[in-house]
Amino acid sequence: MQQYFVKGTISIGSSVFFSREQLHHIRHVMRMKEGDLLRLADEAAHVFLAQLRSVEGSYQAMVIEELKVEKARVHITLAAALIKGERWDYMCQKCSELGVSKIQPLITSRCVVKLQDKDIAKKQARWNRITMEACEQCKRSDLVMVDTPCDLNELLACEAQLKLLAYEYADAKSDRLLDIVHRYPDVTSILCVIGPEGGFHVQEAQLLSDNGFLSVSLGPRILRAETAALSIVNVLSLLYNS
């Protein structure tokens, strides 16, 4: 059953209007007809069953009932250094499916991607469309927000009960992810940091370590940036929110 996110809040018995993009998807992609059922998620992360109605040549949805959905107990923020094009898009999409709560693009010294200020708003809007479509596809009740890119000093101001750094050259002194989860079973917010293609500079890793980030091992192999992101989000989501 197709799901769409709508603005505002929904109540049983109300009529919901669709955006132009949603109407195009309903008509030309899903080829839905009057009477078809669909899911609607509102800004309060409530999900409803609704029925499609034809009104004056367009479509509206009549809300029938609220559906029970499981809410994540732990909020997972992924701070990921920017990587190239399709790999970044893929990471945003799949991490949204796997259970990340928020994605914080990160600018580090070894980032290959260099964004101009004039391009940031357009890029951010595109990334958020990718995560919204992923959340609709996997039927999440909440949207994953991709924030404005920041640097490491700005990242230090982000609050979380557990802060993790996946640093590929620190495995000798890193904890296994499972061991950290066992030590912190009751946290409700996690911030995990992933570096770019060339990894973190040793001074960047030290800066994060000095400010409360725990170095964590994702296994014996060096992973691509997007693989590391998917790996840590998936494990944290499984262990804390399933």
The CATH number covering residue 102 comes to: 3.40.1280.10
My answer on whether 139 and 195 are in the same domain is yes
Given 15, 47, 67, the domain boundary residue is 67
Domain hosting 59: range is 3-67
How many other β-carbons are positioned within 10 Å of the β-carbon of residue 36? 17
Is the pLDDT confidence value at 109 over 80?
yes
Is the pLDDT confidence value at 221 over 80?
yes
My answer on whether 147 and 186 are in the same domain is yes
What is the per-residue pLDDT for 172? Answer: 55
My answer on whether 80 and 61 are in the same domain is no
What is the per-residue pLDDT for 117? Answer: 82
Q: Compute the distance between CA of residue 4 and CA of residue 47 in angstroms, rounded to an integer.
A: 10
Taking only the tens place, the pLDDT of each residue in 36-65 is: 999 999 999 999 999 999 998 899 999 999
What is the per-residue pLDDT for 56? Answer: 87
My answer on whether 83 and 187 are in the same domain is yes
**Residues forming beta bridges with residue 105, ordered by sequence position:** 80
Taking only the tens place, the pLDDT of each residue in 118-162 is: 889 999 999 999 999 999 999 999 999 999 999 999 999 999 999
What is the per-residue pLDDT for 208? Answer: 95
Query: pTM (2 decimals)?
Result: 0.92
Q: What is the number of domains present in the chain? A: 2
Q: Compute the distance between CA of residue 194 and CA of residue 27 in angstroms, rounded to an integer.
A: 40
Given 49, 67, 85, the domain boundary residue is 67
Given 67, 85, 106, the domain boundary residue is 67
